[in-house]
Amino acid sequence: MKRRVVITGLGCVTPVGVGWKSYWDALLSGKNGIGFISQFDASEFPVRIAGEVDNSTFVDLIEKKDSRRMSRFTQFAIISSKMAINDSKLDLEKIDAEKFGVIVGSGVGGMDTLEEQHRILLERGPKRVSPNFIPMMISNIAAGQISMMLNAKGPNFTTVTACASSTNALGEAFRTVVRGDADIVVTGGCEAAITPLSIAGFASMKALSTRNDDPEHASRPFDKDRDGFVMGEGGAMLIFEELEHALARGANIYAEMVGFGAASDAYHITAPHPEGKGARKAMELAIKDAGITPEDVNYINAHGTSTYYNDMLETLAINDLFQDHAKKLSVSSTKSMTGHLLGAAGAAEAIASILAVRDNKVPPTMNCFQPDEKCNLDYVPLKYKEVTVNYALSNSLGFGGHNATIAFGKYKN
């Protein structure tokens, strides 16, 4: 019999809330997480807004002796993992460490550390570059640090697929537990890319919203006046556990992960496929993997970045796959509140999808005042909705043409 995977712990650090309860309350109430950039002087930048995690909300959650050799993205990962493990009530002394994995996505790793050390290299020469630079910067160090904190000796790796990184991570974690390579996996994503170089780079791509005078309304997925995504940051971790393992210890089960699909556009470095083929295929595969039909799906947490092409083509892909059922779906983008957490987005949005399944509540798409004429779905504009959610999908579409979809369902015996 196929091994089943349930979610037994959640933890997150986001621009709208720290800890899953505060995050979920924020999403349902339409809280705005976007403001002016404070982490560096952005006054000369074309983009001066982002969804930052307020330092006062998380610095006390990690000890200085632990954090000093961790880049910001790793700190987000460590705090989120600790929360998720506490939430799961797992007794780390009693579990099989070799069947305990860590699979975490990050798009760019320690960008802040890289920029700081590069500055030192240019100003003071190669001999002043920190010996801790490389192990702080590499994207996979977050997964490594989590394993050291938790003594997790099972499969441990990092997925890097830009904005789809942590959806790929959750997908691989799911497969790892189904295969039997692990009974428990800490999985999720982390990102801290609100840095001068990163903001400048994304701004040059014209990918970011320049609504600098009105940050609260800058991230407006599917709205006709959207003008790009808003950079966010944070971390989100989930505990994936094999069902029998969870039942044996009487764990609280939020939902079941039922399917994963991944497909590539093989088309362009940044532009999505003009017919949304890859996104459609990822959703189709996730549904097939779950053993359900498109009509069983009630909610899609969209990638919904608030860029012109993403929102239009993701909508096209949904219409193409779901046909008549598309109009009955609730489709929302929580990036309207958090901004785009890049490599952490998929994991943060998985938490939203799981809680939607658990609570039968769908978070809204804020700032979707007047949908684009090519965006014709129910985006749950401005206010959350109570609706039965038996199955939810969460989409992530990354630069490079990476499309990944994960599917969650209510846990039923």
Partner 1 sequence: MYFEKITEIIRDQLGLEDAKIERETSLMKDLEVDSLDAVEVIMKIEDEFDIEIPDEDINAFKNLGDIADYVKNKKEG
Residue of 1, 44, 65, 126 that binds partner 1 (CB under 8 A) = 65
Measured in residues, the chain has a length of 413
Which is catalytic among the residues 190, 303, 375, 402? 303
Does residue 224 interact with partner 1 by CB under 8 A?
no
Q: Provide the b/e sequence for 192-216 (b: ≥16 CB within 10 Å).
A: bbbbbebbbebbeeebbbebeeebe
The reply on whether position 130 binds partner 1 by CB under 8 A is yes
What is the rounded distance in angstroms from the CA atom of residue 11 to the CA atom of residue 350?
11
Least Å from the CB of residue 115 to partner 1: 18
386 binds partner 1 (CB under 8 A): no
The residue (of 65 and 94) whose beta carbon lies closer to partner 1 is 65
In the annotation, is 303 catalytic?
yes
Task: Give the shortest CB-100-to-partner 1 separation in angstroms.
Answer: 24
Partner residues linked to 156 by β-bridges: 102
# of chain residues touching partner 1 (CB under 8 A): 11
Shortest distance, position 68 Cβ to partner 1, whole Å? 5
Residue of 2, 44, 60, 64 interacting with partner 1 (CB under 8 A): 64
Out of 22, 57, 132, 210, the residue judged to bind partner 1 by CB under 8 A = 132
Alpha-carbon span 270 to 229, nearest angstrom: 14
Q: Which of 199, 204, 190 is nearest to 39 (CA)?
A: 199
Q: Is 110 in the site for partner 1 (CB under 8 A)?
A: no
Q: What is the rounded distance in angstroms from the CA atom of residue 283 to the CA atom of residue 293? A: 11
Select from 3, 89, 119, 128 the one that contacts partner 1 (CB under 8 A).
128
Q: How far is the CB of 261 from partner 1 (least distance, A)?
A: 41
Catalytic residue flag (residue 375):
no
Closer residue to partner 1 in complex, CB, 59/205: 59
CB of 276 to partner 1, least distance (A): 46
Can residue 125 be called a binding residue for partner 1 (CB under 8 A)? no
Question: Exactly one of 21, 68, 118, 206 binds partner 1 (CB under 8 A); which one?
Answer: 68
Cβ-count burial of 93 within 10 angstroms (0-12 exposed, 13-18 middle, 19+ buried)?
exposed
| Residue of 245, 273, 340, 402 with catalytic role | 340
Minimum distance, C-beta of residue 134 to partner 1, in the bound complex (Å): 9
Choices 15-23, 25-33, 126-134, 260-268; region in contact with partner 1 by CB under 8 A: 126-134
**118 in active site:** no
Considering the rule CB under 8 A, would residue 140 count as an interface residue with partner 1?
A: no
Residues that bind partner 1 (CB under 8 A): 63-65, 68-69, 127-128, 130-132, 135
List residues with catalytic annotation. Answer: 163, 303, 340
